[in-house]
Amino acid sequence: MQNFNSREKYLISNTLNCLPVILQGRAVLIDLRNETSVAGIISVSDGHMTCELTQAVFIDRNGEQHAFDNFLVRNRMIRLLHVPADLDIGAELLQEQKDRRRVGRIKTNAKMTFKQKRAEQRHKETLENVAKLRNKEST
């Protein structure tokens, strides 16, 4: 497991910046803000969503593909991160939430703060929305 600083831990726990961390070791497609895309395997990701891809293919605006061994995508350039279809993102987010909460409680041995409670509530709402969307798609 990577060592994150306190700001990165906060971002991973309270936003969807945890997605690249969850997707480490998996092949993904990332759409960039300059109308280009990068496909590859996320090898390293931090709490700010900066991703390092291995075996990457850069797809420019004209559709031409360029292969790279390593490719770094800065967080500011990410427009959309495509989640693989075979991954149950709801279950992964729930597991990530449980892991982060358990780690935080072990370290502090304290009650949850208002921010932690609010973040947990927002995570639950996000998971409920994902479940609703999946139910709509299946019907």
The reply to whether 139 and 100 lie within a common domain is yes
The reply to whether 7 and 52 lie within a common domain is yes
Calpha distance 22→87 (Å, rounded): 10
Structural domain boundaries, residue 17: 1-84
The reply to whether 80 and 97 lie within a common domain is no
The reply to whether 46 and 109 lie within a common domain is no
How many distinct structural domains can be found in the chain? 2
The reply to whether 68 and 102 lie within a common domain is no
How many other CB atoms sit within 10 Å of the CB of residue 103? 13
The reply to whether 77 and 109 lie within a common domain is no
The reply to whether 79 and 108 lie within a common domain is no
Prediction pTM value: 0.70
| Model confidence band, residue 52 (pLDDT cutoffs 50, 70, 90) | very high
- The residue out of 84, 101, 118 marking a domain boundary is 84
The reply to whether 33 and 77 lie within a common domain is yes
Look up the CATH number of the domain holding residue 31. 2.30.30.100
Q: What is the mean pLDDT of residues 81-85?
A: 90
Contact (Cβ atoms closer than 8 angstroms) between residue 123 and residue 62: no
| Residue 10 or residue 77, greater confidence | 77
The reply to whether 54 and 106 lie within a common domain is no
The reply to whether 78 and 120 lie within a common domain is no
Q: What pLDDT, on a 0 to 100 scale, did the predictor assign at position 59?
A: 95
The reply to whether 41 and 60 lie within a common domain is yes
Calpha distance 69→80 (Å, rounded): 22
Query: Whose structure tokens read 């593909």?
Result: 65
Calpha distance 59→8 (Å, rounded): 29
The Cα angle at residue 55 between residues 67 and 92, in degrees rounded to 5: 135
Q: What pLDDT, on a 0 to 100 scale, did the predictor assign at position 135?
A: 87
The reply to whether 71 and 94 lie within a common domain is no
